[in-house]
Structure 1
Amino acid sequence: MGDLINAIIMGIVEGLTEFLPVSSTGHLILTAELLNFTGDRAKTFEVVIQFGAVLAVLVLYRKRFVKLLNFKIGNGSGLNALHILLAMAPAGIFAVLLHSLIKDYLFRPQTVLIGLIAGGILMIIADRVKKKPAAEELDDISYKQAFAIGCFQVLSLWPGFSRSGSTISGGMLFGTSQKAAAEFTFIVSVPIMAGASGIDLLKSREFLTLSDLPLFLIGLLAAFIVGMIAVVTFINMMKKIKLSWFAYYRFALAALFSFIIL
């Protein structure tokens, strides 16, 4: 029963934080420490529940993804497959080259705290020096902006930095609105997360057992349900609040956990 409760808690944390600029990886690492839910089995579980968050975006933006399959590219075509490829390329290349290094040295509470603080500082900078949006809506994002957002996504390879925090900040610094950058981040996150999680799952297949199937499914379902709620809520929030508010939350979280785990 203890593991099932842990699965629900971890699934909720994943779904709630994956698309907020607060670092889902950081929250999962810190939550796992508090629950004492660690080890190879727990790490494999964390990989599995990320698919729940991916599924949430696929369901909510299903019409967008169907449109992307047309591979219509060119001026006036709105968001298309080339935007996604340009945004994926930088982080994808670095992830392949540095995968082992990141997993071995950065997935620990101390580095997460550094990422939370550094990412928060970036978000405050983006809020204060952002350009007047040239891209108010998702379909207004240019290829140059897509690539710039992709370059900022590289920062999210450091656990605690946050994929959405990095990419939304990058979008704002290069002339997109908060809302457009957030929606673009959600869509780009699907192939990135699916690919990264798929690689991790393949490497961790020896820790997958039939007896753990209920545990993994419950966590995945919790991440999916909460993820759908979080995405819709966050998009509405982006119309009303500043990115800096999430930065202050990150600072408070880092301070709290520095006392608990360090």
Structure 2
Amino acid sequence: MHGSVQIQFKEYIHMNIWEAILQGIVQGFTEFLPVSSSGHVSLVQHFLGKNIEGAQAFTLFLHFGTLAAVFVVYRQIIWDLIVELCATIKDGAHDLWGLIRYGKGKFKPNASWKLTEMNETRRMGMLIIVSCMCAILLFVPVFGFLGLTTASGEEVKTMTDLSQYTSEDSDIIVEGLCLLVTGFLLLYATNAANRRRSTGDITDGEVTLKTAIIMGIGQCFATLPGLSRSGTTTSLGMIHRADKNKALQFSFIMGIPAVLAGNVLEIATMTDEQWDKFEVLPVLIGVIFAAVVGILSIFGLRWIVSNNKLNYFGYYCLAMGALVIIIAIIEKTTGCGNAVPAAELLGEVTSTDVSAADLVASLADVA
């Protein structure tokens, strides 16, 4: 009985401004640093007692802040890609019409469609499109055998469902495991690049078609909380011999259409119950802080990668992952879980469905 009352309390606790600022800072600081923003935001929500349905919705809106940061820092490259995309569409339409009208070999194409013969901007744009096409894996129903259901009662079937489930449940074991994976990837990629450099192998170069596909697949799995998107994709690029700085830049740019499309789709499919939990002012403040801190984080990560210091983040992720797993095990064995602080209960409970006796009993349980 007491446990059910605690759940009622959690449902009526609303996010205040300071919590929104904190989560915005965490999102901006960790979105680009290879430590997993979703994992850290999920942990903050867990320890603040905000790990309820709607938590993923708030995190989705925070991503718009960090997307704004990418647009600010890489505005010239993004503009060049947009201009080149328009030119590519124009050339494609011309060449397709010529092929239909005159047949192969009877007309001169406007452009070469081989990646190796494209200019750098067009080539990068085509590889970004290829990497984003891997996002279809997010909607392949391969997880139905797990028998899991989300907080809204829907069966977990796809990677998107699994990400939502792990973001909104009260168990942080997945965040811990994914942080460990992030740490191992960062250390392996750094060591591989260092070994090649120490043996005089300096063939690391452009992101290839194969590398773009692998980075795109990695981006799909990085929707899990604790698995860093930038860390996963950059590490996979480095492992497959892409130059570290070019892999990082490609990771940032390829994330724009994927994250933007994913967020818009998630927002479009939000339930009425999730919208009822939506609070405009905290979300707006969180987005602003995420954008400002995100800009600083991008410049910081560029310096870190250029100076071969990614391995420090690998050690951090391993340590944090181990700590989170230990805490998760303690919570499971003690049954304390995601307890809500008594002061928060007293100050923010607005439900009239809870009796005074239940309130006293629940406060005693929390204490």
Instruction: Name the TM-score, length of structure 1 as normaliser.
Output: 0.89
The answer for the alignment partner of 2:187 in structure 1 is 124
Residues 6, 37 of structure 1: 8 Å contact kept = no
Amino acid in the other structure paired with 1:96? F
Q: Aligned partners of 2:137, 2:192: CA distance in 1, in Å?
A: 27
The answer for the alignment partner of 2:299 in structure 1 is 232
Equivalent position to 2:311, from 244, 248, 254: 244
Q: Give CA-to-partner distance per residue, 1:101-154, whole Å, 9 cap, x none.
A: 332357651111111112211222222223545455xxx333333223223333
The structure with the greater share of residues assigned to helix is 1
Q: Aligned partners of 1:10, 1:252: CA distance in 2, in Å?
A: 21
Q: Aligned partners of 2:325, 2:276: CA distance in 1, in Å?
A: 35
Equivalent position to 1:77, from 116, 119, 124: 119
Give, in angstroms, the shift of residue 28 of structure 1: 0.9
The answer for the alignment partner of 1:94 in structure 2 is 137
Where does the alignment leave 5 or more consecutive residues of structure 2 unmatched? 1-13, 89-112, 141-157, 330-367
The answer for the alignment partner of 1:204 in structure 2 is 270
Percent identity at matched positions?
Answer: 27
The answer for the alignment partner of 1:165 in structure 2 is 231
Matches within 5 A, 1:4-153: 4-69=17-82, 70-71=84-85, 72=88, 74=115, 75-79=117-121, 80-90=124-134, 92-97=135-140, 98=158, 99-105=160-166, 108-130=171-193, 131=196, 132=201, 134-136=203-205, 140-153=206-219
Give, in angstroms, the shift of residue 253 of structure 1: 1.1
Q: Give CA-to-partner distance per residue, 1:215-235, whole Å, 9 cap, x none.
A: 110000010000011001110
Moved more, 100-109 or 45-54: 100-109
Q: Aligned partners of 2:325, 2:210: CA distance in 1, in Å?
A: 39
Give, in angstroms, the shift of residue 83 of structure 1: 1.2
Give, in angstroms, the shift of residue 196 of structure 1: 1.3
Give, in angstroms, the shift of residue 211 of structure 1: 7.8
Q: Aligned partners of 1:101, 1:43: CA distance in 2, in Å?
A: 12
The answer for the alignment partner of 1:257 in structure 2 is 324
Q: Aligned partners of 2:164, 2:281: CA distance in 1, in Å?
A: 26
Distance 1:24 1:105, change over 3 A: closer
Give the secondary-structure state (helix, strand or coil) at the position aligned to 1:37: coil
Residues 131, 213 of structure 2: 8 Å contact kept = yes
Q: Aligned partners of 2:231, 2:277: CA distance in 1, in Å?
A: 36
Q: Aligned partners of 2:301, 2:223: CA distance in 1, in Å?
A: 22
Q: Aligned partners of 1:117, 1:253: CA distance in 2, in Å?
A: 8
Give, in angstroms, the shift of residue 183 of structure 1: 1.2
Q: Give CA-to-partner distance per residue, 1:189-214, whole Å, 9 cap, x none.
A: 11111111112212225333698211
Residues 233, 251 of structure 2: 8 Å contact kept = yes
Q: Give CA-to-partner distance per residue, 1:33-52, whole Å, 9 cap, x none.
A: 11112322333211111110
Moved more, 44-53 or 9-18: 44-53
Residues 135, 141 of structure 1: 8 Å contact kept = no
Q: Aligned partners of 1:133, 1:3: CA distance in 2, in Å?
A: 52
Amino acid in the other structure paired with 2:138? A
Give the secondary-structure state (helix, strand or coil) at the position aligned to 1:208: helix
Rg larger in structure: 2
Q: Give CA-to-partner distance per residue, 1:170-190, whole Å, 9 cap, x none.
A: 111111122211111111111
Q: Aligned partners of 1:87, 1:2: CA distance in 2, in Å?
A: 36
Residues 82, 143 of structure 1: 8 Å contact kept = no
Moved more, 144-153 or 126-135: 126-135
Residues 119, 247 of structure 1: 8 Å contact kept = yes
Instruction: Name the TM-score, length of structure 2 as normaliser.
Output: 0.65
Moved more, 109-118 or 123-132: 123-132
The answer for the alignment partner of 1:223 in structure 2 is 290
Q: Aligned partners of 1:102, 1:41: CA distance in 2, in Å?
A: 13
The answer for the alignment partner of 1:195 in structure 2 is 261
Give the secondary-structure state (helix, strand or coil) at the position aligned to 2:279: helix
Q: Aligned partners of 1:67, 1:43: CA distance in 2, in Å?
A: 33
Task: Kindly indicate whether residue 227 of structure 2 is the aligned counterpart of residue 184 of structure 1.
Answer: no
**Coordinate RMSD, CA, aligned:** 2.3
